[in-house]
Amino acid sequence: MWLNQFLLVGAALFCIGVYGVLARRNGVMVLMSIELILNAVNINLIAFGAFNGTIAGQVFALFVIAVAAAEVGVGLAIVLAIYRNRSTIDLETANLMKG
């Protein structure tokens, strides 16, 4: 019964994150939305781990947090670089990779 609640929280958080990623134009906001998605995953991992009585979920969550920190670091650096070049962090304009 209580697992569902955690999962529902995770799913809600995930959906908010996805919406942020898809809808926001601000690069920093997108990065933060990604953090939301990752944390949704973390909630799920810890919930499943607790539910199954193993520590594995928490270990995975720790890894994800570490990777997320690194990812945000890199992501923010990119955003900063974009901002320096173009004076905007609007992702709609950052389409240099268009084929």
Partner 1 sequence: MSPTLTFAAESGEAAVVTAGWLLRNAWIFPAIPFCSFLITLFFGKRLPQRGSPVGVAALALTFVLGLAAAGQWISYSNRSEDAAHAETEHALVGASAGTGESAAATAAEDDRGATTEEEDGEVHTQVGEAADEEEHASVAPVESTRTWWQSGGIHFEVGTLVDGLAIMMIFVVSLVSLLVHIYSTDYVHGDIRYTHYFAFLSLFTASMLGLIVSQGIVQFITCWELVGLCSFALIGHWWEEQANSDAALKAFLTNRVGDMGLLIGMIVLFFTAGDGRTFSIVSINQAVVSGTVSHTAMTVAALCLLAAVMSKSGQFFLHTWLPDAMAGPTPVSALIHAATMVVAGVYMVARLYPVFWDGLSIAGSSFNMMVLVGAVTTLVGGSLAFVQRDIKRVLAYSTVSQLGYMVMALGCGAWTAAVFHLFTHAFFKACLFLGSGSVSHACNHSFDMKKDMGGLRKRMPITHATFLIGTLALAGFPLFAGFWSKDEILAGTGGFNLAEGANGSYHVFLVIGLLTAGMTAAYMTRCYWLTFLGEWRGGHDHDTGHDTGHQPAMAVGAAVATGHDAHAAGGHDAHGHGEPHESGPRITGPLVVLATLTFLATFANIPEKFSFIPEGWRLRFEHYVEPRGDYFPTISHAEFAPAVAALSLAMAAIFSGVAIIYYRKVRAQGAYATELAHGPTTRNALAAAGYRVLENKFYLDWLYQGVIVAFIKGPLARGIDRFNQVVLDGIVDGAGINSRKAGDLLYRYVDQAVVDGAVNASGLGASETGGMLRRFQTGRIQQYAALMFGAAALLAGVLVIAVQ
Nearer to partner 1 by C-beta: 62 or 74? 74
One-letter amino acid at 84 equals R
Amino acid at 14: F
Nearer residue to partner 1 within complex by CB, 18 or 28: 18
Sequence letter at residue 45: L
The three-class DSSP label of residue 54 is coil
| Rounded-to-integer distance, Cα 89 and Cα 81, Å | 9
Minimum distance of partner 1 from residue 64's CB (angstroms): 17
- Closest distance of CB 55 from partner 1, Å: 27
Minimum distance of partner 1 from residue 25's CB (angstroms): 8
Own/partner contacts of 6-9, CB < 8 Å, gap of 24 or more, are 6/43, 6/44, 6/46, 6/47, 7/44, 7/47, 9/43
Nearer to partner 1 by Cβ, of 2 and 22: the residue is: 22
**Which residues of the chain form contacts with partner 1 (CB under 8 A)?**
18, 21-23, 30, 91-92, 94-99
Q: Which lies closer to partner 1 via its Cβ, residue 50 or residue 64?
A: 64
